[in-house]
A and B are shown apart, each in its own frame.
Chain A
């Protein structure tokens, strides 16, 4: 320890105070502290007035900040310049177990044995079994928090013959979607349904390179894909017309619209499922069936068809 710093804490705390004249610094500090207190009082009054006349957030925020800062600043300046707070040294006592209160495993075991607790093995076993049973029984109602997912993850509202509507439930007409146009569509009767959200795009004739078995799914360059990103379920809403790709705003998974929504970039593990659609003579669309595979993000038995 440095000799100069050694000080008896008690005397540093309660000992006789040296009375000496106030210095100029201290006098300045006193004035400053006073001004800060006044600032707090004025800001507090201002807040009350502002409440009565209904001022705005900015004014309230500044007044509140001034009120806090005035009080806080005053206290800090006070303690820093006007109070005698000497540096003190406190001894650190080693942290060690108290031998008088021995709770060594041996002693605990001895006490247990003395009390006769450990002798009744059978009852102890039943004690644990009953506690376990009670805890389980209390926990079981947690299952009513939510239904088993069942087949809900495997199906959407799209069926064979579903007519294609927009978010307001109005039938979608081919003339509403120009070339390189995109629209979010739903099956009739379920506009806005999260699982059934679908994008209907018009890429123009002759560009699509779909697998042969899907040739009839995209009439005249109109193609429909699930809008639910196969990564984490965000709506895949960005169509970059020049590249002909759909991009997810969440983590930039990119799907090639011309090539069956194959993933060209990003974390999505599989293409967006394609909805088979048919163009009616009146210019509206119907689904030729539901999505051929589950929509949305991956889960363990997604490719199993739901065990059904």
Chain B
């Protein structure tokens, strides 16, 4: 175990809180940043200038040496951050052309099928930036794809954190912050989806309005406050806009900063690789190894988003047309990250509780707000729930492999199954058309599966994890455990003799 002081032979500057950091303006320049091959003439004076005014070199040096574990799963959070940067850049470009204006205009422009159609100024500006602005459609589609990638990266990152127990003490708070970031990202997705004021986004807003209206007692009033009156309102687009481009991004940037600060202070967790202990971090130093890899990964993420944005059409709002309250969009499909909520609302039974002429629980309230609230709250405070159940409140810097905590892996699988079933139900009309099954039967099936599925997933995952745990890291079946050999009659027979299998595979046994 390493004590608080430097290990013998370690001549790094250790900063012990409470002790003054010795600093000599003249001397520090020389040994502040050892550069192989000698001091760069520009960097040296600049560093000295900065250090004489801030004293940041000590920090800067330890920062450059900070060690980052090198495992591909650590890239997931980074991809989320990279997509967020792409979202900020493409989003800024879009605001230069988008008009958050719900008032009605008549469209005249290059898109002939809608020429002369009544629509909001917002929708008209989306058509203009898609068809008349150089790079506008590319930016719009890249923005949409980046949003899908952003949320997918956050979800997989959280899954990794969950399955490996990285959220355990001392990192409970960072899980809570990370999960809050997911909620903010979902809110960004929903508000952004609603801004173009096309038929699908208007339909989505109509449903959101109705769900809010179903809040017991206060619903109609809250909905009217948020939307500026009875649906449809002209005010909603400009309100959603400021939430989408200022409030939510501000909250995201603030919380991402805290998130990274916590990672910095608490240092990364690491997998149980040779040499890894609870008291060290093995990996690459930030500069240059990790930094170059991250910059490269950022550019490659940007490349993927640019390619998707350029080649794969997404949300072609001109095909849907402007929002008209009496026009139906079939099939109405939200983006995948809302699909599970859509499924929940679709499969809910039409029960509501009415007493003395007062509807205590109007219909979409339970599936639209209560159930998602419960599911998310459980996940949101999961570190504390797990600590409560297991009684384990020790610090953990070494990660579990998922199978090392079968109970946790099983619970994660159960949650994933719930969301998956709901997601499928959210597309029940499309699935029904593909499978040639009546949509009613499909919904009945999913109603059962949303309860049975997680139970099955829990048991299966638990069993698999136990099996893996008991067999250690050995493969469950020896190589060639089942081998077929062609026999004289042209049929196949199973070979049980291990040596014969190895011989047939070319002699030397497993390589």
Chain A residues in contact with chain B, CB under 8 A?
A: 1-2, 5-6, 8-10, 12-14, 17, 51, 54, 57-62, 64-69, 71-76, 78-80, 83, 85, 87-95, 98, 100-101, 142-143, 145-149, 152-153, 167, 184, 192, 194-195, 197, 227, 231-238, 249-254, 263, 265-269, 296-304
Contact = CB atoms under 8 A, between A and B. Distances in A.
B23 interface: no
B284 A61 contact: no
A94 B4 CA distance: 8
Nearest to A153: B220
B331 A300 contact: no
B284 A235 contact: no
A184 B324 CA distance: 12
Contact of B225 (A57, A145, A263): A145
A13 B65 contact: yes
Given A62-B307, A72-B297, A300-B362, A85 B281 contact: no
Interface of B: 2, 4, 7, 9-12, 17-18, 34-37, 65-67, 70, 134-135, 137-138, 141-142, 170, 203, 206-207, 209-211, 213-214, 216-217, 219-221, 223-233, 235, 265-267, 274-275, 277-285, 288-289, 292-293, 295-300, 302-304, 306-311, 324-332, 342, 345-352, 354, 357-360, 362-364, 367, 395, 397, 428-429, 439-440, 443
Given A251-B346, A298-B363, 4 more contacts: A68-B306, A234-B207, A269-B351, A303-B359
Contacts of B206: 232-234
A197 B362 contact: no
Given A61-B310, A302-B362, A92 B281 contact: yes
B285 A85 contact: yes
A5 B443 CA distance: 57
B432 to A, nearest CB: 9
A89 to B, nearest CB: 5
A304 B358 contact: yes
The 4 closest A-B pairs by CB, nearest first: A61-B310, A72-B299, A85-B289, A237-B328
A182 to B, nearest CB: 12
Contacts of B440: 252, 254, 265
B78 to A, nearest CB: 13
Given A5-B275, A60-B138, A79-B296, A235 B325 contact: yes
Nearest to B216: A300
A58 B306 CA distance: 10
B297 A142 contact: no
B276 to A, nearest CB: 9
Contact of A231 (B66, B210, B354, B397): B210
B135 A60 contact: yes
A233 B203 CA distance: 9
A9 B65 contact: yes
B300 A233 contact: no
A298 B220 CA distance: 10
A91 B225 contact: no
Contact of A92 (B2, B295, B331): B2
A297 B213 contact: yes
A237 B329 CA distance: 9
B303 A87 contact: no
A184 B277 CA distance: 70
A267 B230 contact: no
Contact of B328 (A2, A73, A78, A249): A249
Contacts of B267: 90, 92
A14 B235 CA distance: 61
Contacts, number: 308
Interface centre among B207, B231, B360 (most CB of A within 10 A): B207
Nearest to B312: A61
A17 to B, nearest CB: 6
A301 B354 CA distance: 9
B302 to A, nearest CB: 4
Nearest to A232: B210
A62 B327 contact: no
B345 A249 contact: no
A148 B221 contact: yes
A85 B323 CA distance: 56
A88 B275 contact: no
Contacts of A13: 34, 65, 285
B211 A88 contact: no
B217 A267 contact: no
A184 B346 contact: no
A166 to B, nearest CB: 11
B296 A72 contact: yes
A297 B220 CA distance: 11
A76 B297 contact: yes
A61 B309 contact: yes
Contacts of B34: 10, 13-14
A240 to B, nearest CB: 11
A233 B348 contact: no
A2 B231 contact: no
A50 B164 CA distance: 47
A57 B281 contact: no
Interface centre among A5, A8, A14, A68 (most CB of B within 10 A): A68
B350 A62 contact: no
Given A85-B288, A101-B17, A145 B350 contact: no
B428 A252 contact: yes
A148 B224 contact: yes
A263 B350 contact: yes
Nearest to B14: A93
Contacts of A85: 284-285, 288-289
